[in-house]
Amino acid sequence: MSKPVIQIKNLEKVYEGAVPVHAVNGINLTITEGEFTALKGPSGCGKTTLLNLLGGLDKPTSGSIEIGGVDITTLSENQLIDFRLRNIGFVFQAYNLIPVLSAQENVSFIMLLQDRPKEEREARAQQLLEAVGLKGKEGQRPGQLSGGQQQRVAVARALASKPQFVLADEPTANLDSTSTANLLDIMEKLNKEEGMTFVFATHDDRVIKKARRIISIEDGKVLSDE
């Protein structure tokens, strides 16, 4: 049996206003080690809000999120920053690479924040860039890379810290079909070979077809879990 990586209990996120919006409405979920899971649903259904809660980028109104046995909803802001740094990898739709750094430096940066030795940082960054098909591109800056190549750097960066899991928010939204296919093949390979857990928020059928578990979200609730 795979061990649980994420356990969500009675999770709620309400945005207050003239009419309160229940972006996440009483969700209970368990994600186990090595899953390749897609949260699917239309824009505004709550999947990105759920992903942000899992990543500690937003605070829930109520409920708990346990990651590796730690309830991140009880952590202080500084504790949460440190926890994210050491346990969660992120792949964003907008890449979020640092433009003045090379591909290798972008991948190494999170390990620098973790105070890893220089030799380890360089070796891990080179290994990951080769794994995502960017050998020979280590010295190039984001502006010298295509969109698909930048997103591959983002995937390598997400894996650099050896996180418990990777959260990917619409990672293929800005990519053409060839880049999307290549990126998904790479993430699937890393999932199988490194046992890395991936959770996607997406409405892209190409991602959904690759996923081995599909959780449909509607109006902030789990509609189905297949």
- Listed residue (10, 38, 46) closest to 219, CA to CA: 46
pLDDT tens for residues 103-158? 999 999 989 988 899 999 999 999 889 888 889 999 999 999 998 899 889 888 98
Provide the residue type at 214 as one letter. I
pLDDT tens track for 8-28: 999 999 998 888 889 999 999
Burial pattern 134-161, b for ≥16 Cβ within 10 A else e, equals beebbebbbeebeebbbbbbbbbbbbbb
pLDDT tens digits for 182-204?
Answer: 888 888 888 888 888 999 998 88
Residue 84 CB neighbours (<10 A): 19
Angle, vertex CA 12, rays to CA 54 and CA 70, nearest 5: 40
| Contact in structure between 153 and 134 (CB atoms under 8 Å) | yes
User: What is the pTM assigned to this prediction?
Assistant: 0.88
Rounded (5°) CA angle 173-177-183: 70
Tell the residue number behind the tokens 């009880």, with chain if given: 74
Record the tokens describing residue 168, joined without a space.
């990917």
Q: Would strands 70-71 and 88-91 be described as parallel, antiparallel, or unpaired?
A: unpaired
Give, as one character, the DSSP assignment of residue 203.
-
Instruction: Please give the Cα distance from 30 to 184 (Å, whole number).
Output: 23
Q: Residue 197 in contact with residue 164, Cβ under 8 Å? A: yes
Task: Tell the CATH topology of 4-225.
Answer: Rossmann fold (3.40.50)
- At 173, the pLDDT band (50, 70, 90 cuts) reads confident
Cα three-residue angle 27-17-44, rounded to 5 degrees: 45
